[in-house]
Amino acid sequence: MRAVLAAVVSLVLFASPGRADDVTMKDGKVHKDLTLVKENAKTLEFMTLDGKRITLSKDAIAKHEKKETARDVYGVRKKELPPKDAAALFELAKFAKESGMTREARQDFEAVLRLDPNHAGAREGLGQKLLDGKWLSEADAKKVEAERAEGEAKAQGLKKVKDGWVTPVELARMEKGLIKVGPEWVTKEQKKKIDDDKLEYFQGEWVTAADKQKMEGGQRLHEGKWLPVDELNTIHRDLAKPWILRTPTIELLTNARLESGQRYLAILEDAYKGLVELFGAEHPDLYDVRGRLVIVAGRDLDAYQKLGGTFGSPDRVAFHSSKFGAFFAPGFATREGKNKEVRRGAGMTFHHSDEFDGVFLAAALSYAYLDRRVPYLETDEKVVEALAGYIAGMKDGKWFPAREYYYRTIDGRDVIHEKGSKILDRVSYEKEPTLGQAGLFLHYLRTRNPTAFVSWWRRYGLGTPNKSVPEAVSSKGPVAVLVHECLAKDGKVDPDALDADFAAFRDEFRKTHRP
């Protein structure tokens, strides 16, 4: 009987308010805000802040500190609360939540709402979310957001599969039985050969370890023979016999030296990533007969002019943006087999300078990419050119125009700046400054409304760009709809407000951008 009484007295003493412990174990683990409830010769039993019990061996304890618990502090503050003071009660609720006392926190948040039903902090503390001016429970908010996400996914052409949403491109590959291996999708037979022969993906090709070693040693296979790169640079100087360099998504034909071609390819890959991020998918016919996007790069102006004469006249069919160094010829074809031609389209450019090459290459790639999503002659010229200016300024997923592009088009001494409300009105951008300013304006639109911006481009890539916009807007063309969707307030875009906001944005960009 005495033993039982002693145990009860011990429990009452140890569990009394005002006592709390921090216990550091010899293995470095720290237990905080413990209340001691029982002790015997070898162990200590504690209650944690959330009401759980843990037993610790005395031999394993390195340090035992006694202090006031958060629960004790909560109790004192609760008693001192002014009556019907929603602000003070809200601060106590936050303290309880941050201290792990979830039951007390919920009770206090609910008490705040009884005093102030519109208290946003208390509703957020209870997990509620404000959607369309209404506070919804966490579960209801998730349901509404899921329904919206599904609607947006469908609007962007995504397809539902067992594991979530995929692009039509990915779904088509799955339905064909293709398998992702490394950076490419391959057939089962191709995968078997890759596995059996232990092939590696290197510079756009699946090669053996021995072939990879030769390539790393400065050789390339040409007409069945391994030749030094220097010798092949001479052979491929003829644009009729160009280097053909590949990534999983791009095929580059160039008469430049191999090292220049590889630099071009890296620029194109970076631009392609920007296009995929914006449109949400690789070009849809990558694994069909048209295959990779084709870019032709002449090493000089003479080669470029010959290309222009070969692939079409300087009109919309050959795309007259060649006036600034890059154009697109949708009729470009390559031969597949003995008698079959496949019209693949092609973006073309020429070597201008090491830095400005990237602008022309990215612009050309934009034309070629968009053609695979929307038939080229059905696109709007303003849209195509603005996209080219935007992608030409992309670097590592951000709009970060390189030095020469920036100073020629945005911050140069001779650059004439357009008003935001007029900047996309040109029929075509025939000079480099207008190209860069169009890119900057798209960067501005995306900064102001990233969700609407991306949604518009993804719908444009599906051939369905317009949402419900006033006829007065849609009649002005796709770029007017883009601006409206990104900037409209109360159904309208105020051109004066747009001009002022864009001018301030451009000035700030010029102050902070360091190319």
- According to the model, what pLDDT value does residue 11 have? 37
Residue with the bigger pLDDT between 183 and 434: it is 183
- pLDDT tens digits, one per residue of 93-110: 999 998 888 889 999 999
Average pLDDT over residues 404-416: 81
Question: What CATH architecture is 2-68?
Answer: Roll (2.30)
Of 395-409, 412-426, 447-461, the range with the highest mean pLDDT is 447-461
Query: Where does the pLDDT of residue 335 fall: very low under 50, low under 70, confident under 90, or very high at 90 and above?
Result: low
Helix or strand run (H / E) with residue 250: strand 250-254
Which residue ranges make up each domain of the chain? 2-68, 71-127
User: Which of 352, 370, 266, 349 has the alpha carbon at shortest distance from 307?
Assistant: 349
Average pLDDT over residues 464-487: 84
- According to the model, what pLDDT value does residue 15 have? 41
Q: Are 2-68 and 71-127 the same fold in CATH?
A: no
Burial class (CB within 10 angstroms; exposed 0-12, middle 13-18, buried 19+) of 47: buried
Domain 71-127 = CATH 1.10.8.60: no
User: Considering the entire predicted model, what is its pTM?
Assistant: 0.67
Average pLDDT over residues 485-491: 90
Q: Is the separation of the CB atoms in 478 and 465 below 8 Å?
A: yes
Query: Where does the pLDDT of residue 312 fall: very low under 50, low under 70, confident under 90, or very high at 90 and above?
Result: low
Q: Which residue has the tokens 């890296």?
A: 266
| Cα 283 to Cα 275: distance, rounded to the nearest angstrom | 9
- pLDDT tens digits, one per residue of 6-44: 333 333 333 444 457 889 999 999 998 888 888 889 999
Residue with the bigger pLDDT between 349 and 219: it is 219
Of 327-341, 408-422, 433-447, the range with the highest mean pLDDT is 433-447
